[in-house]
Structure 1
Amino acid sequence: MKRGFPIFKKMIISVLTFSVMLVFSACGGEAKEEGGTFLSLINDGTIQSNIEESFEESYYDKDELEQAILEQVDDYNNQAGAESITVKKVEVKDGVALAQLIYAGAQDYAAFNQALFFTGKSGEAESAGYDLNVVLSSVKDSQDTMGKADILALGDEKLLVTDISDAIKLDGKALYISDNVTVSSGGKTVRRTEDGNKIIYVVYK
């Protein structure tokens, strides 16, 4: 095993989203954050996690990285009794590691990553115990707002509730958002701001 990998492997096993991946220097001192991680919500209800982070091959081994991910996914699937998560790709190129995982649904993503994550109908969110007593503002007009009653009265629109900080590509466009959300790509991508409440709400269609 190459020097430094036990720390790196521990980070992967505990997080496996690489959202705050630490890449240690040769002396084991300083670390830095790298970007490139995002989620994609697919129309069929599945979720793809795209993980792209700095990976120094002189300290870490691609095969061991892949094996660590596969072991964690296999453990989860065995406990779930189904192929709830699949590893689509793990590769290292030009000092960058890329991993793509496909989750069967929001519940699997939330459970595997120990995160708060819901996407679906607002009534389902309330039944699941999510607090919908919030005020959301229109992406087009911040003076246009909706409260809990409006959220519960939604029709075809979907509701996203999460506490993750990664960028999320919606299978639609953001219509209403909480005040701790930034919107980009014409309403198709949302992200939590660094300040404010850690839980974000997005109504999209």
Structure 2
Amino acid sequence: MNRGVKILKKMMMSVLTFSIMLVFSACGDKAGDESGTFLSLKKDGTIRSQIEESFEESYYDRDELEQAVLEQVADYNSRTGTESIAVEKVEVKDGIAQVGLTYMGAGDYAAFNQAFFFAGATGDAEKMDCNLDVVLSSVKDPGETIGKADILALKDEKLLVTDISEAVVLDGKALYTSDNVTVSSGGKTIKRTDDGSQMIYVVYK
């Protein structure tokens, strides 16, 4: 495995070690200038991923990193016969590398990153093998809870179930979450609080 691939794998699989910082504009409660490592869920179903990592070691090479990113994305698109992942950015500046990718959907993100990632209609969750035997608490009133039957009965809301550790900027606002999730930025941003051994659940709209 060449150094570029190792660098990319380190960036994509070791997000627990990253310094994550999200900066949002106060206008309209929408995501504004974001930095760090995070995912953004978009209204059209696409997922924007930004990975940020220290890149100060002298033996790291920006061109090698870019080649590794392009090769892995091209390999995935070739194997799936699609153009499901697009490389938006590979930059190295002031000792920091940033890689921006756009995925056509949650399935592509999950497959490429070897993660569990469901984001969609609550009624589709069981079809994707999501375990819904959980109790979720209201963001506004933690004393208010919902269970499996309540989740499946929701019609307009969406459900996020994942084992990733990155912060996620929702295409809506969090309404109910599992107890290993924190919510910030007016309900727009969620992040896990545990060691990553459990799934996180977020109902949002």
TM-score using structure 1 length = 0.87
TM-score using structure 2 length = 0.87
Take 1:57 and 1:197, find their aligned partners in 2: how far apart are those partners? 31
Residue 90 of structure 2 corresponds to residue 94 of structure 1: no
Q: Contact between 2:109 and 2:117, CA under 8 Å: does it hold in 1?
A: yes
The 1:6–1:78 alpha-carbon spacing in structure 2 relative to 1, beyond 3 Å, is: closer
- Counterpart in 2 of 1:25? none
Take 1:99 and 1:17, find their aligned partners in 2: how far apart are those partners? 13
Residue 5 of structure 2 corresponds to residue 9 of structure 1: yes
Instruction: Please tell me the root mean square deviation across aligned C-alpha atoms, in Å.
Output: 1.9
Residue 195 of structure 2 corresponds to residue 199 of structure 1: no
| Alignment: residue pair count | 190
Q: Which has the greater radius of gyration?
A: 1
SS in 1 for 2:201: strand
| 2:15 counterpart (9, 19, 38) | 19
Deviation for aligned residue 1:53: 1.2
- Counterpart in 1 of 2:161? 161
Identity of aligned residues (%): 66
Give the unaligned 5+ runs of structure 1.
22-32
Partner amino acid for 1:140?
Answer: K
Take 2:170 and 2:69, find their aligned partners in 1: how far apart are those partners? 25
Take 1:196 and 1:166, find their aligned partners in 2: how far apart are those partners? 10
Q: Contact between 1:159 and 1:204, CA under 8 Å: does it hold in 2?
A: yes
SS in 2 for 1:112: helix
Take 2:159 and 2:16, find their aligned partners in 1: how far apart are those partners? 26
Partner amino acid for 1:41?
Answer: L
Partner amino acid for 1:12?
Answer: L
Give the unaligned 5+ runs of structure 2.
21-35
Residue 37 of structure 2 corresponds to residue 41 of structure 1: no
Take 1:8 and 1:85, find their aligned partners in 2: how far apart are those partners? 19
Which deviations, in whole Å up to 9, do the C-alpha atoms of 1:7-58 show, x marking residues without a partner?
563242476355146xxxxxxxxxxx54421000000000000111111152
- Counterpart in 2 of 1:127? 127
